[in-house]
Structure 1
């Protein structure tokens, strides 16, 4: 498993060049159809500590440790704690402990403790882990503090497993509070939107909706974990509504039955997000028995692409990604001039 290490960009006027070169290398030279992320078949049972997917690389290139071993997300724009990454690091450390390195359970529990200590209890009974920085996701601008279905789902998944280890009921109480936002619309401070009469849970709850798929899928797995642990029919109903919305809206993310779009951004998913979409869909298909989920997971599997199909995906990704990047720069310039 990739160890957290400090991120050391170049200093001064050269720092933007360092970030730009890193993005170019990741998109061009590190474009891997076989990105290492895998399904974990042992996950899903009530007593299981396994998580549904495992990767020793995914997201780690954006994290560096603080003095206590808690990951901090560092990017060109900010340097902050990202609760989604903290929960992900905890889940991957726990999975690693179950495979070969038992010492990593302590690392996982340290991340769970951070989530427990930094949870925000709101007046409506919900428990959230808000982002503390403003965030531009395409044309959607989110002002801090803002919440995310992805964060809520990943935090629930880690805290449910921490509860299974410790038996501390406070952890499960926080998870129940975390599920409240799935019943509330974005306008009411939640993460729920309705698309053609079907529920969607938003990773980025703003307008226009970025509608990023992997965050939606992570949120559903968190609800499934909590419903399994508590046998609460209200939580199960939130999960079922989300699965119904996912099944209905899957064509929105589909590119020619061979790849996935990165939400409404107008470009194809880079391979790490696309492979993540495949394994998350496959996991949800196994949990629900919903054939459409497995059908899309199979259709999107990169191993099924021909050489021509791979060339098409790579070239169209580069075209659409850079077109989107240009639009973003023009949008930011227009906004700065208006300000």
Structure 2
């Protein structure tokens, strides 16, 4: 895989400073995320916001965008946890019910960990401050945590028909039948590995990316829904909970094209074309 690519979160555009897609920005330049009228610590929502601010700063060179990105990133760091192995984790402190799965607080998500890895890489590339590179390394270290009932994890290994698959779970569940293998969340986790590999060339991180991307590629039949929008998740449990929302189908189609660009594997392009033919 080439290290000459670009982060999937950085575009050639600037959003209006007054845009409130992700929430309201407070006087301290930190994004305020509300859920059910309560202010919550939300790593994924804040990651999207930071990525928008970094993209906008790179395009416009308006300092306020970068100030907002840095302040919100520091807010997330201040609320993070570090484990005994030195991995940095971004907890959700509110409960979340997913079908019959009850995500008690705190809970942790592979999607959040991957997106925060990308946030730190992009801040490092934008500012040159090694602090952000160090935080990226600590965040990516969380990908090495195996499934455990004593702490955070999202790295899930399954053996199907004598073949090993690796999924980075958006909603990790100790009960195997409740691990949904959410497609878009898994791929967003992979983006974090890709971004970190771009700036370091770390061979172990490349391996983590490869086993995850290969599992997405080889699981295509588990979420493709021929002639219709694809399933949100790969397992029966996941399909029964989320079904096949059209907006997610379109997003995954784009994500597969991005994986094709990252890996040079034409199979991802073929799969994206099939999804586009099924529904667009």
Q: Which has the larger radius of gyration?
A: 1
After the TM superposition, which residues 140-289 of structure 1 pair with which residues of structure 2 at under 5 Å, given as runs? 140-187=101-148, 189-195=152-158, 196=160, 197-206=164-173, 207=175, 208-256=178-226, 258-263=228-233, 264-266=238-240, 267-289=242-264
RMSD, aligned α-carbons: 2.7
Q: Deviations over 1:62-121 (max 9, x none)?
A: 634444343343333854120111111011122223334634233222222223333321
8 Å contact 2:12–2:59 — kept in the other structure? Answer: no
Structure 2, gaps ≥5 residues long: none
Separation (CA, whole Å) in 2 of partners of 1:260 and 1:50: 22
Q: Deviations over 1:15-37 (max 9, x none)?
A: xxxxxxxxxxxxxxxxxxxxxxx
Q: 1:191 to 1:109 in 2, by over 3 A?
A: same
Separation (CA, whole Å) in 1 of partners of 2:198 and 2:117: 12
Aligned residues: 259
Secondary structure of 1:259's match?
Answer: coil
Higher helix fraction (1 or 2): 1
Separation (CA, whole Å) in 2 of partners of 1:286 and 1:49: 11
Out of 107, 117, 139, the position equivalent to 2:78 is 117
8 Å contact 2:118–2:196 — kept in the other structure? Answer: yes
TM-score by length of structure 2 reads 0.81
How far did residue 183 of structure 1 move? 1.8
TM-score by length of structure 1 reads 0.68
After the TM superposition, which residues 123-142 of structure 1 pair with which residues of structure 2 at under 5 Å, given as runs? 123-142=84-103
Separation (CA, whole Å) in 2 of partners of 1:185 and 1:257: 37
Structure 1, gaps ≥5 residues long: 1-43, 311-339
